[in-house]
Homo-oligomer: A and B are copies of this chain.
Amino acid sequence: MRVLSNDDVDLLLTMPECIAELELMYADYADGRALLVPRVDNLSPSTEPDSYYAFKQMGGAWPRKRVQALRINSDIIIHPLVEGKRRRVKRPRANGRWVGLVFLFSSESGALIGIFPDGAMQRLRVGATNGIALKHLARDDARTLAIIGSGWQAGGQLMAALVARPFARVRIFSPRAESRERFAATAQARHPGVDIRAVDNAEECVAGADVIMAATSSLVRVLEPAWLKPGVHLSCIKTQEVEQTLLDGCDRVVVHVSAQPKQFDNVMANTPNLAAERESGWWNAPGNRFAEYPELAQLVAGRVAGRSRREDITCFVNNIGVGLQFAAVGALVLAKAVAAGLGHEVPDEWFSEDVHP
C-alpha cells in the first residue's frame, strides 16, 4: 500500500496524460463499462457551535484499469459573512490542514493499494474535464482565450486549454488587480510562446475571444449573455457561474453529468447552521435543470454531435464532479509512482485480514 502526497501527484501527472486518461474513461462510461458511485454529503454537528461537520463521499469503478476509487472530504464548515453574503468556508482544523483523501482499491485482488490527498488531483481533473469539452466543442482554429478568474482552479483551466488548442493569446480578468497580475506573470513565465496578459475588466477580457472559460468561486453568474458571439465556446466550473438565459442562447450545451445533478444530502436532525448553508448558495436548488442536456461522456464517445457549424455557439457546464475521475487519474498516478519509486510504502498486511467477515 502506497501513500502519495500532493507533491508526488503534481510531479508525476501531466495535463496531457490526465486528459488522455479521462477521455478513455468517459468513452468506457458512455458504453456502460465504468460505474459511478453517487456523491453523498453527510452533515452532522461538529464541536464548535458556529460550524458543522461535513463528510462527503464519492467514488467509481473502472474495470479496464482494475480499480475502485473512493474519495472523501472530512470538513469542519463555517459560514462567515463576507461583504453581506454568507460564504461557505472549510476550517483547517487538522493541525492547520484540510482533509480530503482518495482511497484506491484493486478490483482484481480487493486490496487497498493507495491513499493520497485529493488537492492536486482535484485541480487537474477539473481542468482536464473542461479541456476535453473544449477539444470536442471549440473551433479548430481557436487561438484567443479569455479566462475569468485567477485562483487555483484558473491555473488548471489554462493548462488544459493549452493542451486542447494552440492558443496564441490569453487574457485574464478577475476583480482583484494584484491577483490577476500575479497569475498572468506566472503563466507568462511558464508559457513564453503565448501572449498572456491580465486586463482591467471582463469586457476587455472576452473581446475577440474564441473561447471563454469561467473558473471562479462566485455564487452569482459570471458568464454574460452579451458574450454569445458566433463561433464562441464557453465553459464554467460550477453551476452558479451560468444562468439559463445564456444556455438558451447556445446552439449546443453539454454538461458533465446529467444523471447525477447534485449530491444526496444525508443530514442529522439537529445539525446547526444549515440555514447559513442554504444562504451561502452552496445547496443546489431542488430539481435538475441539467437533466435534458447531453453528457460529456456521450460527446467523447461520439453519441452526440459537438459543433456542427463554424458559427455555432457552444457551452460546457461542469455541473458536478464525479468520483470516477479519481479512479481514472488515481490509477494512472499510482502506477507512475510505483515505477518511479515515489511515495511511502506501508505494509499490505495492515490493510487485509485472515478472517472472512
Contacts and interface: CB of A to CB of B under 8 A. Distances in A.
A97 B266 contact: no
Chain A interface size, under 10 / 10 to 19 / 20 to 34 / 35 or more = 35 or more
Leading 6 A-B pairs by shortest Cβ distance: A32-B269, A97-B352, A119-B355, A117-B353, A35-B268, A94-B111
A55 B68 contact: yes
Contact of A70 (B72, B122, B268, B269): B72
Contact of A44 (B75, B107, B348): B107
Contact of A93 (B93, B100, B109, B115): B109
Contacts of A122: 357
Contacts of A101: 112, 351
Given A32-B268, A346-B346, A105 B38 contact: no
A44 B35 contact: yes
Interface string A28-71: 00001111111010111111000001010101010100101010
A108 interface: yes
B118 A33 contact: no
A356 interface: yes
Given A70-B72, A266-B38, A350 B357 contact: no
A44 B120 CA distance: 28
Given A37-B42, A99-B351, A357 B119 contact: yes
A191 interface: no
A115 B351 contact: yes
B99 A268 contact: no
B110 A74 contact: yes
18 contacts: A6-B355, A35-B44, A44-B68, A46-B108, A55-B107, A57-B70, A93-B108, A93-B111, A95-B349, A96-B354, A97-B354, A98-B110, A98-B352, A98-B356, A98-B357, A99-B111, A100-B357, A152-B355
B53 A107 contact: yes
Given A37-B57, A99-B353, A152-B355, 20 more contacts: A6-B354, A32-B268, A32-B270, A33-B270, A35-B266, A38-B266, A47-B108, A57-B57, A57-B59, A74-B105, A74-B112, A94-B106, A94-B348, A95-B348, A99-B110, A100-B353, A101-B351, A115-B351, A120-B355, A344-B350
A82 to B, nearest CB: 15
A18 B115 CA distance: 30
Interface of A: 3, 5-6, 32-38, 40, 42-47, 53, 55, 57, 59, 61, 63, 66, 68, 70, 72-76, 90, 92-101, 103, 105-112, 115, 117-120, 122-123, 152, 266-270, 344, 346, 348-357
Contacts of A352: 94-95, 97-99, 117
A115 B33 CA distance: 31
A87 to B, nearest CB: 12
A38 B45 CA distance: 18
A110 B32 contact: no
